[in-house]
Amino acid sequence: MRSVFCLLSLVFALSFAAGAAELDKLLLTRAELWKMSGDTVMTNLPDTFQWMDAAKTRMRYNARESKTPLTLFGSRVVEAIFDIADGKIFTLNVSVYNRGDAGDIEKKAFDAALDKVQEKLVAFVGKDIQPQSQNMSAGGSRLRSQAWRTETGDVVLCWSSSRTQSEFITVDFYPPGKAPKSLREGYKTSVGSDDLVERLKNDDDGSRYVMVPMVDQGAKGYCVAATVERILRYYGSNIDQHVIAKLAESDSTRGTSLNKIVDALEGNQAKLGIRFKQLYRYDDLESINDFKKLCNNYNSLARRTKEKKLELSDYTFVVDKMKYLDYGSLMKALNFDIFRQLREKDRRGSRAFFDEVHDSIDDGIPLCWSTFIFPAVDKSSSDFGMHMRIITGYNTKTGDIIYTDSWGAGHEKKVMKAEDAWGITVNLISLQPRNKTSR
């Protein structure tokens, strides 16, 4: 908890930070900014930004991960992302505050930070230029913004908060005339479903896949929010994970409830320009009787291979006469090879899962993929957990699943054996563009 308060004191320090890298240095070049490359940013702001993908289309700074502080108009920022198109800067997104990275703050501190940013932006664009107010309601959440349009660039300030919770303050910089006409237009998908097949890549080794924009969720538990952002950006939206987190009531530590993200996406299909469809759900472990059945079936296979049996009583405990199950510890104790064999018995479910994957990818549609995390399969983890990633393809020769994690560079295109992919699958969700043709 102490580290959170320390970070907040850094984020909202209004005095200039000694030794900080200054975004102002680039922004004050005005129109020249849009002629710069990502490498130019690296040169002018050393030891701050990191490439998010091998193709060098996105670069990111995050205060929790960088030793060098970064400032905007003299105040430290939490995160900043440059998008690069055709080798030149196309947009700059600056997170002045977001709950996921900086923790909760009081409304008074949030309002003070917002007032400070507004004051600095007015000075930056010129007092004679009046901002256009843009507001949007989605799923009970109120999103607000102001947009300034100048000859050298467009600036959009966006924020969201309530009486009980502050969510985010972001500033987006665009080339002149490139900012969305409205907040709603920016968040809505612009690519038509009929145009997605052209994005398919087919390699000689049988790999068939698409590439989706990279988003790095960082140290926070925003895998669901980051996954949804990436797919919507693939469809032309400029929404970010902080807006998704607001809609789904994500927690930076505990993550996002799958039920809440389902409700948020189903309830905002028209506003986001998507069609939501749940393609598969693993519902065999939803009651204590389900776990009894799992243990019985698991132990039958374990006896054959002389593996240790599972005793459900070892993972239950009583509090105030109520019996609870230590779900995580039980799942961690599983031998994944045995669990996978149990999953493989569901041949109808397996066949339906892979059919949905193949059909979607053949249409150029990536899929939200909720999975178990078993250390035996995911070497990056030493513990059991839950995670959402994106299925971006499959191998037409081997059947392997091609996927991506929202963890930055090095995680754009990964491969998993088909039987392992099925063994860890919990949910499969399709988000498709609402329109057939691009707008």
Where in the sequence is the domain holding 415, given as residue range(s)?
188-439
Q: Pairing between strand 79-85 and 154-161?
A: unpaired
Residues 173 and 206 in one domain: no
Domain count for the chain, please give it: 2
Residues 290 and 359 in one domain: yes
Alpha carbon separation from 329 to 288, 335, 386 (Å, rounded): 15, 12, 13
Residues 182 and 309 in one domain: no
Select from 325, 333, 356, 324 the least CA-distant residue to 421: 356
Q: Residue 143 contacts by C-beta under 8 Å, 6 or more apart in sequence?
A: 135, 136, 137, 158, 159, 160, 183, 243, 246
Per DSSP, the three-state class of 82 is strand
The pTM (predicted TM-score) of the whole model is 0.92
Q: Which of 137, 162, 187 is the last residue of a domain?
A: 187
Run of H or E residues at 107: helix 107-125
Residues 151 and 203 in one domain: no
Residues 174 and 202 in one domain: no
Q: Which of 129, 157, 187 is the last residue of a domain?
A: 187
Residues 355-381: b if buried by 16+ CB within 10 A, e if exposed: ebbeebbeebbbbbbbbbbbeebbeee
CATH code for the domain in which residue 315 is found: 3.90.70.10
Residues 395 and 319 in one domain: yes
Select from 197, 145, 201, 147 the least CA-distant residue to 174: 147
Residues 377 and 240 in one domain: yes
Residues 294 and 428 in one domain: yes
Task: Record the tokens describing residue 96, joined without a space.
Answer: 């002045």
Alpha-carbon Rg for the chain, nearest whole angstrom, is 23
DSSP type of residue 35: G
pLDDT in tens, the chain (439 residues): 333 333 333 344 333 455 789 999 999 999 999 999 999 999 999 999 999 999 999 999 999 999 999 999 999 999 999 999 999 999 999 999 999 999 999 999 999 999 999 999 999 999 999 999 989 887 677 899 999 999 999 999 999 998 888 999 999 999 999 999 999 999 999 999 999 999 999 999 999 999 999 999 998 999 999 999 999 999 999 999 999 998 888 887 888 888 889 999 999 999 999 999 999 999 999 898 999 999 999 999 999 989 999 999 999 998 988 888 999 999 999 999 999 999 999 999 999 999 999 999 999 999 999 999 998 888 778 789 999 999 999 999 999 999 999 999 999 999 999 999 999 999 999 999 999 898 7
Q: Pairing between strand 141-149 and 132-138?
A: antiparallel
Query: Which residues is 144 bridged to in the sheet?
Result: 135, 159
Residues 134 and 232 in one domain: no
Q: How many CB atoms sit inside 10 A of residue 279's CB?
A: 18
Q: Which of 187, 204, 238 is the last residue of a domain?
A: 187
Residues 58 and 86 in one domain: yes
- Burial-class residue 267 by CB neighbours within 10 Å (0-12, 13-18, 19+): middle
Residues 320 and 429 in one domain: yes
Select from 212, 193, 200, 243 the least CA-distant residue to 369: 212
Residues 161 and 257 in one domain: no
AA identity, residue 297: N
Q: Residue 419 contacts by C-beta under 8 Å, 6 or more apart in sequence?
A: 340, 344
DSSP labels, 267-334: HTHHHHTEEEEEEEE--SSSSHHHHHHHHHHHHHHHHHHTPPPP-GGGGEEEETTEEEE-HHHHHHHS
Residue 17 has a pLDDT of 52
